[in-house]
Amino acid sequence: MKKLIIIVGSIIALVIVAAIVIPFFIPMEKYKAEITAQAEKATGRQLVISGPLSLSLFPSIAVNAEGVTFSNAPGAKYPQMASLDRLHVSLKLLPLISGSIVVDGFELDKPVIHLEKNAQGKGNWEIEMSTSEQPTAAEPANTSGGGMDFLNNLTLDNVRLVDGTVTYDDAGQSQQISGINAAVKLPKYAGPMNFDGSLTWNGEKIDLKASVANLKSFLDGGNEAVTAKVDSSKVSTSYEGMAAISPALAMDGKVDLDVPSVRGLAAWAGTPLDMPGDGLGPLKIEGQLKVAGSTYSFENANLSLDDLKGTGQVAINMAGARPKVTGKLDTAALDLNPYMPPPTTTTERFEWSTEPMDFSGLKSADLDMSFSTQALKVRNITIGKSDLSLKLDNGLLTATLAKMDLYKGSGNGSVEVNARNDTPVIKANFDLKGVQAEPLMKDAAEIDRLTGTFSTNFGITASGKSQKDIVATLNGKGAVDFRDGTIRGVDLAAIAATIEKISNGIKSNGTDMLSSLTSGNLLGSLKAVGAMFGGKGEVNQETKFTTLTASWTANQGTIHNGDFLLEGPQTNDRAVLKMTGKGDVVLPPQTIDYEASIHTFAKQESGTGVGGTVRLSGDLQDPSPCVVVGSLCIGKKTKPQDLLKSKLENAISGGSKSDGKSSLKGLLGGFKDKLKSE
């Protein structure tokens, strides 16, 4: 036995000595030349090993190569496509005897890879192999699985990539990833695999970690526990759950996303957000990610963006002709102000744009989403609980507002945009009831001149590719109903009395009458009424009303109203105030032609009462008010010579003789002296 032990020991010692000595007799330079020659023959590019190439057999079979470079394609930006300071590969010797492969060293030191596309879009990695090196026809697959059996005994003990760099150039755009470090540990192929690495991109270090519970099962299509984590100062995300890669991708696990600043992340990624407002700061999302074939879903999601917090779910199905997104999002409160531009004031005239609007995005995906919020704030407008659904089907967008609480009132409505054909068609229907006008208008436009409770409804349709096209094809109808309110800054009863005096020529002096007629107070107030109570008006004046109603129709951009009615309680010791109106607003050229009759009535009075008719006409953005006398309309632009006797007789001839004489007498008496002085 002793002799046997000595013999075996001697053999082992001889093998060890041979493993140490033999590499010294192997002509490595010859093999180096052969390796580089075969590489150039196969690829047409030069492989250069400028440093030493060495081989050792004990205690591990190891190969070392230094100064390795691989030339680039002709005309490329860099002379070398790839370079490597050092390559080290080592296999433990003794485990090979039992059929196991233990890689105790695989190191790539400072690898640099330059990827780029030329002007024709061809990548430098697209290498045309030599004809003699083309692969032969594939043999039938070995279904027994024996071809990969050696992997069952594979162990990766020390696999590392140190300080790598990758660049990418395409059409003048360049990207670089540097400081690439990676380490892989795999105790056995049918066991856990762990990856730990890092890299630097755009000046930020990114740490990467990943693990798979059983690598063999995972690569064979098994459903395995997987973890992945990306961590940096700009974004951090993680996944923990189950995953499979074949026959189709499948995932079911928890996802966390943490972005300190969405704007900062976008800027770092090279796509800064040119969006108004100061929002899009911190973003956090967590939930359950599920992937089944072509369907990706995110369930039990918790979302926070700036001060917005919400819960919900979303799913994307990629199987159809277009991706389809479905889901639901609920928020406690939604403040849109951080995402809106600051309010601006401009004196520039508004014109309808003729620039074609792009609706092509409505055909890029299908959508079926619902949104619910307890409160919504836009500028100073506060909207209560609201439920909104959005549906998009091959270019047809339907937005349905099922419920909206608005300033003690409620509303609902819908908007439809059909972009399936060449010319988009727009439809809208809305119904609001019991809304308090004063707080709404104050919050919406900083106007506190109208109080009361109002209801309104309308339905419209239009078509076109630009703003101008759309307003020119506007059709529809609607109505508004105000109850028990006040118009501040305008005393319609006083205006009625002034109109009465002017129309009947009570003033004895023509200059005074014309001055009264064209005064800023009277015409400014009339203009304020016509401008939807947006003028200056008089602070201490007001008009109370019990009813204000109107309906309208729209036909090819012309809006017509024929039944405006305002009725009020006793005002200025008169029992009733009544204002009626009718006219047109033509949207394409932005013009208005509207007449309103304003009268007050004493309790004992019958007939027309005190008052008259005023008209707003001309430019919709700067209408001209005037007082109607027969066929004349007397306003700021009225000249004394326009009130000549012949013109006035013609103007009032259509009225009764008593009315005509009364008006003519007063007007001529008032302007007689002034006309003589001209």
- Domain membership of residue 521 (yes or no) is yes
pLDDT at 210 over 60: yes
- Domain membership of residue 510 (yes or no) is yes
Can you give the length of the chain in residues? Answer: 678
Q: What confidence tens digit (pLDDT) does each residue in 560-607 have?
A: 999 999 988 765 555 578 899 999 999 999 999 999 988 887 655 556
Angle, CA of 387, 462 and 379, to the nearest 5°: 45
Alpha-carbon gap, residue 155 to 179, rounded angstroms: 26
Using a pLDDT cut of 70, give the percent of the chain over it: 76
Residues 6+ apart with CB under 8 A from 226: 210, 211, 212, 213, 218, 239, 240, 241, 242, 243, 253
pLDDT at 191 over 70: yes
Confidence of residue 504 (pLDDT cuts 50, 70, 90): low
Structural domain tally of the chain? 1
Q: Which long-range contacts (CB under 8 A, 24 or more apart) does 34-40 make?
A: 39/70
Q: Quick check: 435 and 458 in contact, CB under 8 A? A: no
First to last CA, the chain: 149
Q: How far, in Å, are 42, 55, 382, 548 from residue 65 at the CA level?
A: 20, 9, 71, 93
Give SS3 for 218.
Answer: helix
Residue 230 forms beta bridges with which residues?
208, 237
What pLDDT, on the 0 to 100 scale, is given for residue 525?
47
What pLDDT, on the 0 to 100 scale, is given for residue 510?
42
- Domain membership of residue 475 (yes or no) is yes
Q: What confidence tens digit (pLDDT) does each residue in 440-464 have?
A: 988 887 888 889 999 999 999 999 9
Lowest mean pLDDT among 73-82, 349-358, 667-676: 667-676
Alpha-carbon gap, residue 611 to 628, rounded angstroms: 11
Q: What confidence tens digit (pLDDT) does each residue in 233-260 have?
A: 999 999 999 999 988 899 999 999 999 9
Backbone angles phi, psi at 438, to 5 degrees: -60, -55
Q: Which helix (H) or strand (E) holds 593?
A: strand 591-601
Q: In whole angstroms, what separates CA 420 from the centre of its chain?
A: 21
Angle between helices 657-677 and 492-504 (to 10 degrees): 80
Q: What b-and-e string marks burial along 495-508, b requiring 16 or more CB atoms within 10 Å of the CB? A: bbbbbbbbbbbebe
What pLDDT, on the 0 to 100 scale, is given for residue 535?
41
More confident residue, 634 or 130: 634
More confident residue, 248 or 668: 248
Confidence of residue 668 (pLDDT cuts 50, 70, 90): very low
What pLDDT, on the 0 to 100 scale, is given for residue 570?
60
Q: What confidence tens digit (pLDDT) does each residue in 324-359 have?
A: 999 999 998 888 888 888 877 777 888 999 999 999
- The one-letter code for the residue type at 212 is V
Mean pLDDT of 417-429: 95
Mean pLDDT of 185-209: 93
Confidence of residue 373 (pLDDT cuts 50, 70, 90): very high
Confidence of residue 5 (pLDDT cuts 50, 70, 90): low
Q: What confidence tens digit (pLDDT) does each residue in 624-665 have?
A: 888 887 667 777 666 655 554 444 444 444 433 333 333 333
- Domain membership of residue 126 (yes or no) is no
- Domain membership of residue 613 (yes or no) is yes
| DSSP code string of 511-550 | HHHHHHHT-HHHHHHHHHHHTTT-S---TT-EEEEEEEEE
Alpha-carbon gap, residue 404 to 383, rounded angstroms: 7
Q: Find the domain containing 573 and state its range.
A: 465-677
Mean pLDDT of 15-34: 53
- Domain membership of residue 176 (yes or no) is no
Q: Which helix (H) or strand (E) holds 327?
A: strand 324-331
pLDDT at 51 over 60: yes
Q: What confidence tens digit (pLDDT) does each residue in 263-315 have?
A: 999 999 888 888 777 889 999 999 999 999 899 999 999 999 998 899 999 99
| Sequence-ordered strand ranges (E) for 99-203 | 101-109, 112-116, 154-170, 173-186, 193-201
Which of 564, 587, 563, 567 is CA-nearest to residue 576? 567
The DSSP output letter for 590 is T
What pLDDT, on the 0 to 100 scale, is given for residue 407?
94
Which of 374, 377, 378 is CA-nearest to residue 386? 374
What pLDDT, on the 0 to 100 scale, is given for residue 657?
37
- Domain membership of residue 48 (yes or no) is no
pLDDT at 131 over 80: no
- The winner for highest mean pLDDT among 96-105, 205-214, 356-365, 500-509 is 205-214
Which of 490, 583, 497, 498 is CA-nearest to residue 539? 490
- The one-letter code for the residue type at 232 is S
Angle, CA of 230, 231 and 235, to the nearest 5°: 95
State how beta strands 425-436 and 101-109 pair: unpaired
Count of C-beta atoms within a 10 Å radius of residue 50: 11
Lowest mean pLDDT among 118-127, 448-457, 535-544: 535-544
- Quick one: residue 394, left, alpha or beta (phi over 0 = left, psi -120 to 50 = alpha)? left
Q: Which helix (H) or strand (E) holds 8?
A: helix 2-25
- Domain membership of residue 193 (yes or no) is no
